[in-house]
Amino acid sequence: MSHCESLTRTLSAASCFVANGINNWLPTLYETVYHLPLQEALPLASITSPP
């Protein structure tokens, strides 16, 4: 495996971890910052989460 391939895989894995963290954090942000009830925050987080 070349250095470029290794770097690409590392960055891809890191971006997956970041996206997963954002997905898990969004409902909490919607609840605390925007004062949405949990019943609204959960569906909204699934709609606005990164692919």
Per-residue pLDDT of the chain (51 residues; tens, 9 = 90+): 676 787 788 888 888 888 888 888 889 999 999 999 999 998 988 887 666
How many domains are there within the chain?
1
Residue 6 within a domain: no
**What pLDDT does residue 47 have?**
84
Residue 44 within a domain: yes
The domain of 29 spans 15-51
**What pLDDT does residue 35 have?**
95
CA angle, residues 10, 51, 21, in degrees to nearest 5: 60
CA pair distance 50, 20, nearest whole angstrom: 9
Residue 21 within a domain: yes
Residue 1 within a domain: no
- The overall pTM is greater than 0.85: no
CA pair distance 33, 24, nearest whole angstrom: 15
